[in-house]
Amino acid sequence: MTVDRRWVLFALGAGALTACSDTQIAAPRVSGLPEDLRPQPNAAYEAWVQAFRQRALRRGVSQDTLARGFQGTGFLPGVVRRDRNQPETRRTLEDYLSIAVSEKRVALGRAALRQNAALLDQIEARYGVPAPVVTAIWGLESFYGARRGDVPVVSATSTLAFDGRRGAFFEEQLMTALKILQAEEVSADRLRGSWAGAMGHTQFIPTSYAAFAVDFDGDGRRDVWADDPSDALAAAAAYLSRNGWRRGLNWGREGTSGGRVIQPQAGGPRFAVTPNFAVIKRYNNSDSYAIGVGHLADRIAGGGPLRGRFPPDTYGLTKENRIALQRGLMARGFDTGGADGVIGANTRAAIMAYQQQTGLAVTGDPSLALLAQVRAQ
């Protein structure tokens, strides 16, 4: 059985990155949710919900569950906005790995591996998925549990089902979320996740939860939302195992010796990948994501950075150039949000502010000339 939790995350971009200096969007607690992620009046949405209730009753969802599930929920305009404003182009592999395998994420991953060694060893023994791989998925999906999402799943999935761009898909997620609630696997107030309905430490959508979640700690519930990550980490391993993970086989390696060789970014490093690489892509259908999981797992296990280099970007800048530009701007009082070499919204805003202050054409674009000017000041 291969129920696909990857689709919704692939729709969010090349992986579910949750922490980086220039593009960070941390999932806040309820009290801190942005205004556009709080229920807003919408008559058409309410009419849709009334019609959906009848469909849910026919599918075996009780009146009581519907009442509990929809209490305090509603239309979230921010969910629609985020769904419609996905970037048209994906990050380069170099940018992706700068975020996915940042030194902070590696350090926290090594600490998480140590702190949860007994649990992860038990999971590996049962499902055959190496502890560093499970830890890497945990790190990419929720920054090791720190950012599990606080948007009510019923609000998020009903909003997206009503919006209709992928209505059937999200209606099924909503229906399944209500059945999870009806089965008393989680209380209504804890049924929370990302703006797109992905839940818990390892960001399972409801249908994947229904198919793959496990009660690993034996407390009678498959609790991927708890502070204790046992069930969630085991569920991720179970997902990979049931999608064909081969014990004793790694994901791949940088280089061209043996196996299928891929080069996701022209001019960048090549990777020889194994069948387990394709299994990771069942979690999120992206070469960048699978390389991110594999390389982060290798780093968590003690490995070093990639040896190969990436070519200059479209502006002629190497990663070292971009980091130097970010550091130079910050030294002059223009906040780029950090110096990771990824040119995102914060860096572009800092460039625009610098350009405006210094009388340059305000474009927000980096360049070698701009770097030279910042260095000269």
Q: Are 4 and 284 in contact (CB under 8 A)?
A: no
Q: What is the pLDDT of residue 7?
A: 45
Q: What would the pLDDT profile of 233-245 be if each residue is shown by its tens digit?
A: 999 999 999 999 9
Please check whether residues 57 and 160 belong to one and the same domain. Answer: yes
Q: What would the pLDDT profile of 130-179 be if each residue is shown by its tens digit?
A: 999 999 999 999 999 999 999 999 999 999 999 988 999 999 999 999 99
Please check whether residues 235 and 344 belong to one and the same domain. Answer: no
Query: Residue length, the chain?
Result: 377
Residue with tokens 């921010």: 78
CB-count burial class (<10 Å; 0-12, 13-18, 19+) for 263: middle
Is the pTM higher than 0.95? The answer reads no
Nearest to 104 by CA among 254, 284, 300, 298: 300
Q: What would the pLDDT profile of 13-53 be if each residue is shown by its tens digit?
A: 333 564 333 333 333 334 578 999 999 999 999 999 999 99
Please check whether residues 234 and 333 belong to one and the same domain. Answer: no
- Tell me whether residue 302 is in a domain: no
Q: What is the pLDDT of residue 196?
A: 95
Share of the chain above pLDDT 90, in %: 88
- Tell me whether residue 14 is in a domain: yes
The residue-averaged pLDDT of 344-354 equals 97
The domain boundary residue, chosen from 209, 242, 275: 242
- Tell me whether residue 96 is in a domain: no
- Tell me whether residue 107 is in a domain: yes
Q: What would the pLDDT profile of 64-90 be if each residue is shown by its tens digit?
A: 999 999 999 999 999 999 998 865 457
Please check whether residues 36 and 162 belong to one and the same domain. Answer: yes
Please check whether residues 233 and 329 belong to one and the same domain. Answer: no
- Tell me whether residue 266 is in a domain: no
Q: What range defines the domain where residue 10 resides?
A: 6-89+103-242
The residue-averaged pLDDT of 212-222 equals 97
CB-count burial class (<10 Å; 0-12, 13-18, 19+) for 31: exposed
The domain boundary residue, chosen from 222, 242, 262: 242
Nearest to 292 by CA among 302, 306, 312: 306
Please check whether residues 232 and 348 belong to one and the same domain. Answer: no
Q: What would the pLDDT profile of 314-331 be if each residue is shown by its tens digit?
A: 999 999 999 999 999 999
